[in-house]
Chain A
Amino acid sequence: MAAIEILGLEKTYMVGFWRKRPKRALEPLHLTVEEGEIFGFLGPNGAGKTTTLKMLMGLVFPTAGTARILGRAWTDPEVKAQIGFLPEQPYFYDYLTAHELLDYYGQLSGVPAAVRKPRIEEVLSRVGLTDVKGLQLRKFSKGMLQRAGIAQAILHNPRLVFLDEPMSGLDPLGRREVRDLIEQLKREGKTVFFSTHILSDAEALCDRVAIIHKGQLRGVGAVEELTSSVQGKIEVVWQGTQIPASMKSLGAECHVTGDTVRAVLGENQQDAAIDALRRDRIRLIAITPLRTSLEAYFVEKLQHPQAVPENTVGKAAGTKA
């Protein structure tokens, strides 16, 4: 079953003094996320990521369109027991301690009292907040708040977790920890949907990504396929500063850095390059297929304002009614 099916969700705000001017925050969005995958929702700031998430959470009402979460209508309150949400820059009741906050949220999520207490301890240790569980949240640093946010998102053991910019405000150690956590969630069989504008995180974590810009979906696909070798190039690295003539004749772009040379050639020229180096007894260090980074794909998609009509990669786009 698809974890999330977004069927044409759209949001238009009326702005201006008389609220007559329409402002399109999100064009009709069609997107499917499968269970068990880590899905990245990428886009620059103001692209519509948070708007989409807020609509899915029922905080904002779409101008048109519907969605299904775990097979049920997105407005169904019961479905909320199976999802967790970490909002962007979360803010919690600052007069509560972390423990009290989780206890309260646990109560609201319907976690039975007997299960709640051990679960809170477990979650707190998982996000590394055990030491400060008795401290009032108003004394928490940004990173600590972020962890508390993640804690409340996974407290009730949801099947699907939504994270809005989960790495924001964290130092590198914190970001590493969150990445580990997300991978762990996937191993537990949960689905993770997270939005970010930091591409390296997405590249490292996600199975699939969607790119959104100015309210429009620009691209969807599995990370591997999107970054699979584009244009079939290879990179050859060898010892020394010499560039064999035969290499030049192959049309390689060569750069000398310190005492190594890097050259970029076509994939089909791989054997010829190796021969050229062997003939001159030059020591080969590495041959690597050149992959496009997600960043390049991202930038390219941002520059071309055509929406991708349908989710074409992977499973067929769900059109269940």
Chain B
Amino acid sequence: MTAQRRTTIIAGACLAVSLTACVLLQHRLDQIRPESTIEDVLYIDSPKVVKRASLGFDGLMACMYWTRTVQYFGHRHYELSHTYNELAPLLEITTALDPHLMPPYQFGASFLAPAPPNGAGQPDRAIKLMEYGIEHNPDNWHLYYDLAFVYYTELKDYKKASEIFDRGSRVPDAHPFLKVMAAQTAQHAGDYTTARLLWSATFDTAREKQIRQNALEHLRAIQVDEDVSHLQAAVTRFGERTGRLPSSISELCTTEHLPGVPVDPDGNAYTMTPEGRILVENPDNFPFASKGLPPGYKRSGLPKFHTKL
């Protein structure tokens, strides 16, 4: 074998081995240092400073910060953390760098406002973010939607929500749905129908996976709440009619002329306690349901996106 051949083989082997080693080592390194990244990132947490430091490459930096935000949120979410303190600064920096980047606003609407563990619990910052977005993108109807969304879901300020939906509906090329929502929130604010409309709209228009999952969970919860209230109302009616509690849920359903026992979105039948309380089978699978929970049930405080998209 000539010297050149031998060198080629050895160098080639070195190349292959080193490449593999590098890939493996990077994996290991990632495990050692996941936390440090965000602290590094937010070493500069003032949007103004970041903007100046970007040397004009704002767009690129905005993309990078957005990527980091999504990573950050997903990471903390699945690590079952309870706080998202860096979410607001991250979103603020991203939108400061590029005010016309849309996904951050929707992300903020979905996850800045709700209380931990589902979000950062900072509805006021969420509102600030939306208003900043509207200021820079006055013709984007979706931002009005996002702002109204926050007022509706977290602050329960239905009047304000309706106003904003209305404002948004006047924007050229606004989705006709905004007018519908304006009317709905004005008149049937607390209804399940309205809530369902809202979350369906979010689910349909969002492209970001976590936002869609969040919306889906809310929709499932609404279904459960609605079913449980109807069933619970039926129990009350039964009691008024017969003067006693139904002996079983099947008896209740037969009396109500239902084809069978209603099932929850997972396909499990609702149950009834001897005291006449309607329960959902696995409350853990419906993190946002407020009805049908067993007495003394405490949420484990861990948000769970049960359904896979």
Contact = CB atoms under 8 A, between A and B. Distances in A.
A258 interface: no
B7 to A, nearest CB: 10
Chain B interface, DSSP helix/strand/loop, else mixed: helix
Interface residues of B, number: 3
Interface residues of A, number: 4
A75 B4 CA distance: 8
A62 to B, nearest CB: 13
Contacts of A73: 2
Nearest to B2: A75
A63 to B, nearest CB: 15
Contacts of B3: 75-77
A77 B2 CA distance: 10
Contacts of A77: 3
A73 B2 CA distance: 9
Nearest to A58: B4
Interface string A160-188: 00000000000000000000000000000
Nearest to B3: A77
A73 B3 CA distance: 11
A156 B222 CA distance: 92
Contacts of B2: 73, 75
Contacts of A75: 2-4
A243 to B, nearest CB: 70
Interface in B235-267: none
Interface string A54-81: 0000000000000000000101110000
A162 B3 CA distance: 23
Nearest to B5: A75
A129 B2 CA distance: 39
Interface in B1-58: 2-4
A295 B172 CA distance: 94
A75 B3 CA distance: 8
Interface in B185-226: none
Interface in B130-169: none
Contacts of A76: 3
B84 to A, nearest CB: 57
A75 B5 CA distance: 11
Contacts of B4: 75
A91 B213 CA distance: 70
A101 to B, nearest CB: 26
A73 B4 CA distance: 12
Nearest to A61: B4
A12 to B, nearest CB: 20
Would you list the 6 A-B pairs with minimal beta carbon distance, nearest first?
Answer: A75-B2, A77-B3, A75-B3, A75-B4, A76-B3, A73-B2
Interface of A: 73, 75-77
6 contacts: A73-B2, A75-B2, A75-B3, A75-B4, A76-B3, A77-B3
